[in-house]
Structure 1
């Protein structure tokens, strides 16, 4: 009986910490997905000396979401933008396709940004202070991640407090 009481007490302290660890891992995993796509796009643009673009993907399709309310939550496409028009055409080479983020995770941008592109020198076409924000919908007001993309094309990860 005493053993059960001790286990119950220890469990009451351990479970919240374990839950936070799992939720933090979800944010880190999804942040890694975004960073990986950005690094691949930049690397390929430098290696091949061609523009490479990334766009928010339409749900259930291999097409870019170009609407006014672009959502990155349905995934994204990375492709060789051979005609440098920021539009994924059937003739262009698809490098990578990422599907929907984990359930409950939101990926937003600091500005309306249906796509971004890397130039052959690895620099990006993004406006100054462009960033992706990764948040867990189940933890508003908690720490998420921010990925800032510099004009040089480099991505920097930092903590971000998700809006309630």
Structure 2
């Protein structure tokens, strides 16, 4: 018997040449160069929208709870400690342009506009991400960075009977977004009407322009 006939023939094996591998790597590098900035912009835009929506939800909650409980409910700027809202420090009423570290919604039981340790917290939010800045406009800074809803569902600044208006700008300072679309501005009009606007903020601190409006609350009187 011929021994060579019993040895199975080896199947042909094919692979990539070095040139083919280099071409594939080059194509992947080109695709990544175009896709990475777009992906970073997408992430930054979603982060802005998410933070603005959290603030919008906080305002809507404050209004609805003020009507439901017939108590004054306040949303105010707060500080953080160990990554959490520092409730012991109360509201930050300083009229400066520094970014907010966090915010809190609480039932203002004694109606003094001050966040006391004994008052119930309804919602709180820490501003996450180093690139996100949340800044109040001059009107809100003058009001001590507080939006106070009365039992009638209308917001009036502490110590004032005038309907409150305010703008809180959430902007991205990472550079991933164009300056014409790097901000989401949460706006309170006539004490009850709340809207989120997509805008640009060259300094990432003060509202610059408005491009798109999405209304989220009922119109007040």
Query: Quick one: which of 94, 113, 116 aligns to 2:121?
Result: 94
Which residue matches 1:4? 25
CA contact (8 A) 1:56 1:70 kept: no
Which residue matches 1:155? 194
Cα distance change on mapping 1:110 and 1:49 into 2, 3 Å: same
How does the TM-score come out when normalised to structure 1?
A: 0.88
Give unpaired runs (5+ residues) of structure 2.
1-21, 158-162, 204-221
Q: Distance in 1 between matches of 2:98 and 2:170?
A: 12
Q: Which has the larger radius of gyration?
A: 2
User: Secondary structure of 1:78's match?
Assistant: strand
CA contact (8 A) 2:147 2:164 kept: no
Which residue matches 2:57? 36
Report matched runs for 1:28-107 at 5 Å.
28-60=49-81, 61-62=86-87, 63-69=90-96, 71=98, 73-107=100-134
CA contact (8 A) 1:27 1:136 kept: yes
Which residue matches 2:152? 121
2:179 matches 1:141:
yes
Shift of 1:5: 2.4
Matched residues, number? 164
Give unpaired runs (5+ residues) of structure 1.
none
User: Secondary structure of 1:138's match?
Assistant: coil
CA contact (8 A) 2:155 2:164 kept: no
After superposition, what is the alpha-carbon deviation per residue over 1:54-109, rounded to whole angstroms, capped at 9, x for unaligned?
11113322121122327552111211112211111223212122223322211111
